Amino acid sequence: MGKKRQKFEDRLARLEKIVEELEAGDLTLDESLARYEEGVRELKKCYEILRDAEKRVEILLKGDEGALKTAPFEPEEEPESPKEK
């Protein structure tokens, strides 16, 4: 079988590491180009994973007749911190 599919979070962490390495400026030109190419591949995979997740959510939101029901995303509210008086 092929490689085990990496998680989005793992790919994003690798992408962040690549950006840090590039920003540090300690790499040779060849190393920088290699990291840049790897970063582009990781970014494309991240977008692919996000598109797949979006499709799964759309499937879950489809109504009985197959019509897509949309609902606004409402993030959980953070508890308010006590106000000083």
pLDDT (tens digit per residue) in 30-57: 999 999 999 999 999 999 999 888 887 8
How many distinct structural domains can be found in the chain? 1
User: Does residue 25 fall inside a structural domain?
Assistant: yes
56 within some domain: yes
The tokens of 5 are what?
Answer: 């599919």
Q: What is the pLDDT of residue 58?
A: 74
The CATH number assigned to the domain holding 27 equals 1.10.287
83 or 23: which leads in pLDDT: 23
pTM of the model: 0.62
pLDDT, the chain, mean: 79
Torsion sign, CA atoms 6, 11, 17, 23: positive
Radius of gyration of the chain (CA): 20
Residue 71 lies in a domain: no
DSSP 62: B
Which has more pLDDT, 76 or 65? 65
Residue 24 confidence (pLDDT) = 96
- Range(s) of the domain holding residue 32: 8-61
